[in-house]
Amino acid sequence: MKIEKLNARQPIAVAILGFDGVSALDLTGPLETFFAARVDDVETERSGPYQVRLIGVTGKSFTSESGLVYKTRYTLRNAVLADTVIIPGGAAVQMGEASRKIAEWLSSRAVGIRRIASVCGGVYAVAKAGLLETRKITTHWKLVQDFRRQFPRVDVDPAASFIKDGKFYSCGGGTAAIEMTLALIQEDCGARGALSVARELVMRLRPPGDRENSLEPLQFECGPMDRFADLPAWIASHLSDNLSVELLAGRVCLCPRHFSRLFKRFFQASPAVFVEQLRLDEARRRLRVPRNSIEDVARDVGYQSADSFRRAFERRYGVSPLGYKRNLRIENNKIYRSPLFAA
């Protein structure tokens, strides 16, 4: 594959932000797409039109929602100026410290960035930076209602694969992130270069705003039980909030009693048990990160005290949070002492 348009220029600097709780697919989709745009040429030694860097938001290492651990040389503090910035999705970017840090960083750097692209929930951080008022964006259909409530001055199109408004790009996640990245490559390398990448990835080029074969949100709101479809994603992004039955019932416009009955039928668990499961599953993921203290994890997933968190964690997993962290350290030491990792 050869991409000729940018051969004479310096590579375009692309920064992909990463943080604890990032969606691995939202991060690796754009990353692998930019990598596929490399130039296979002996003279350039497989150099390419892009210089892609992972930028750690919460530190030089971070763990995805699915447990993948990423390590990078760069953080927001020492990140060099980038031409294009990609903000992936993940529950952590819709709330909490990662969202705040990204928003503050974007606010101070946005003028010098040529393109800012968000994937799925990554658009929350861009909106919190105050950069999207009166602009048009898209995001995952499950997040549309919540996003509109939080940012009423942003125009949301829930059906487009991805959207360009000025220098701001947004998409719904999954394969839409790859389609959006292909559009960025087309801007830089021309249609021929982007088509070569699309063929390698078995994707197709789509224009911004294209709705062909996209999901129609109304199809998810047809029956009364379908009101619950976006609840898990919303709960997962608000674990530190008060998630009472009354509040959850209000989100789907039902009385608490009827809501509890339908919820149990839909999820095979009471609202309280379901919320606790999400909180403890998220806590377990966060405890895998060595620098996260038990007290901080307890607070971030919605427990009033470390003691109540400890009791709930031990009841579900049969081990205390401290014991869980110790076991992880022991297992990691065994792995890295294995002959597989010998020099």
pLDDT along the chain (343 residues), means of 10: 49 94 93 82 54 91 91 88 93 85 93 95 95 94 88 89 94 91 92 87 76 46 58 85 89 85 86 91 87 90 91 91 84 52 39
**Cα–Cα distance, 147 to 152 (Å, whole number):** 8
Task: Give the tokens for residue 104.
Answer: 């503050």
259 C-beta neighbours (distance < 10 Å), count: 21
209, 163 Cβ separation under 8 angstroms:
yes
**Cα–Cα distance, 266 to 145 (Å, whole number):** 21
CATH number, domain 12-200, options 1.10.3720.10, 3.90.550.10, 3.40.50.880, 3.30.230.10: 3.40.50.880
Q: How many residues does the chain have?
A: 343
Q: Which amino acid is at 213?
A: N
Bridge partners of 15, per DSSP, are 53, 85
- Contact partners, residue 180, CB within 8 Å, separation at least 6: 30, 117, 119, 161, 162, 169, 170, 171
Where exactly does CATH 3.40.50.880 map onto the chain? Answer: 12-200
334, 327 Cβ separation under 8 angstroms:
no
5, 193 Cβ separation under 8 angstroms:
yes
283, 239 Cβ separation under 8 angstroms:
no
Q: Which CATH class is domain 221-333?
A: mainly alpha
CA-based angle 137:143:149, to the nearest 5? 80
Where exactly does CATH 1.10.10.60 map onto the chain? Answer: 221-333
188, 12 Cβ separation under 8 angstroms:
yes
